[in-house]
Structure 1
Amino acid sequence: MSGDGGRAGGGRDRDAEGRARSARPRDGLGRPLPYGAEGVARQPEGVVRGPAETVREAQRLLDAGMPFHAHEVFEDAWKSGPEGERELWQGLAQLAVGLTHAARGNATGGARLLLRGAGRVAAYADGGGETYGVDVAGLVAWAGELAGRVAEPGGGPGAGPPEAAGEAPRLTGA
């Protein structure tokens, strides 16, 4: 990348393959910061992990208050995994992005994504597919509760966006 943050000639940032990709640093919730600001390291793209490693890494990021980064881990799983597991990984990614939006203060978008993700993972309840120890019922309940709370007029108890690390779900129920 060039010294202007990867913006050749002042245009869009590009990665090494020429795809549009912002070179701006990001905060823990994935929000862009000004060029030159200290940000949080991004998750590398296209990492192929086994299911257990995917769940472990995503949980570590969720616990650290970085649900946007956890979503990227789940995105890698849905892009590299078997077709039959795509809905599980996409649903988990949507749960992480829903928490991201809620923590950013986007209650409507956060609630919508939490419910959409819960609908996707719910299909894996009661033997609907391999879950790799993911607590599907617990995540569906967590998503419904958080979506209801953030969508509540006036913000509900403790008004204001939820704190990402404090609201992070336990993926395996353990």
Structure 2
Amino acid sequence: MDKARRDRDTEGRARSARPRDGLGRPLPYGTQGVERQPEGVVRAPGQTLADAQRLLDAGMPFHAHEVFEDAWKTGPEAERELWRGLAQLAVGLTHAARGNTAGGARLLLRGADRISGYHDPYAIDVAGLTAWARQLAARLDGPVDAGAEAPQLISVS
């Protein structure tokens, strides 16, 4: 697509208006896709976690990543690495579900490393998520079912 035809937002920034599937892959224009998450939404941490968990459970980790990205970009500076790490876990699961095992494993491990220094803020099960990410990364050998592999973000004990 040439520059003159690129999708742009109201500020003139390039934004893809192509529909996407549940794993965030672009579909041809005119195809019915999965509704994208709105960008730049400021949510309370509990709402961020609830929205992301709902999307993870539905097998839509790419969309959960977008929710975490909002928290990463709009949250307090002291929490940015936490939300960024959670976004990387969701993207790692996205890549694993798409069959990109090397990229998926790399992002899962990067996200686990990034969140490992936090001590369960907002009841996030940091130890459980870190273990989940490392175990999934170690056993990736082909596409996974994103919904079946979805982690629990909040400690249930």
TM-score bracket, normalised by the shorter chain, equals: over 0.9
Q: 1:100-115 residue pairs with structure 2 within 5 A?
A: 100-115=94-109
Which of 17, 24, 32 aligns to 1:30? It is 24
The residue type equivalent to 1:96 in the other structure is A
Secondary structure at the residue paired with 1:132? helix
Inter-partner Cα distance in structure 2 for 1:9 and 1:107? 33
1:161 pairs with 2:157: no
**Structure 1 residue 171 and structure 2 residue 145: aligned?**
no
Residue identity opposite 2:125 in structure 1? D
Q: CA deviation at 1:9?
A: 7.7
Q: Which runs of 5+ in 2 are unaligned?
A: none
Give the Cα separation in 1 of the matches to 2:145 and 2:11.
36
Distance across 1 between alignment mates of 2:43 and 2:78? 16
Corresponding residue for residue 40 of structure 1: 34
Using the TM superposition, give the Cα deviation of residue 15 of structure 1 relative to its aligned residue in structure 2, in angstroms.
Answer: 1.5
Structure 1 runs of 4+ aligned residues shifted over 2 Å read 7-11
1:15-164 pair list within 5 angstroms: 15-125=9-119, 131-150=121-140, 155=141, 160-164=142-146
Q: Which residue identity is paired with 2:82?
A: L
Task: Report the CA distance between 1:8 and its aligned residue.
Answer: 8.9
The answer to whether the Cα contact below 8 Å between 1:88 and 1:131 also exists between their aligned partners in 2 is no
* Larger gyration radius, structure 1 or structure 2: 1
Q: For 1:8 and 1:140, how far apart are their aligned partners in 2?
A: 42
Amino acid at match of 2:53: Q
1:135 alignment partner AA: D
Instruction: Report deviation, 1:11.
Output: 2.4
CA displacement, residues 117-168 of structure 1 (integer Å, 9 cap, x when unaligned): 000110103xxxx611100000000000000011xxxx2xxxx310000000
**Normalised TM-score (structure 2):** 0.95
**In structure 2, how many angstroms separate the alpha carbons of the residues matched to 1:144 and 1:75?**
21
Identity of paired residues, percent? 72
Q: Distance in 2 between matches of 1:9 and 1:54?
A: 35
Structure 1 unmatched runs, 5+? 1-6
Answer yes or no: is the 8 Å Cα contact 1:107–1:161 preserved in 2.
yes
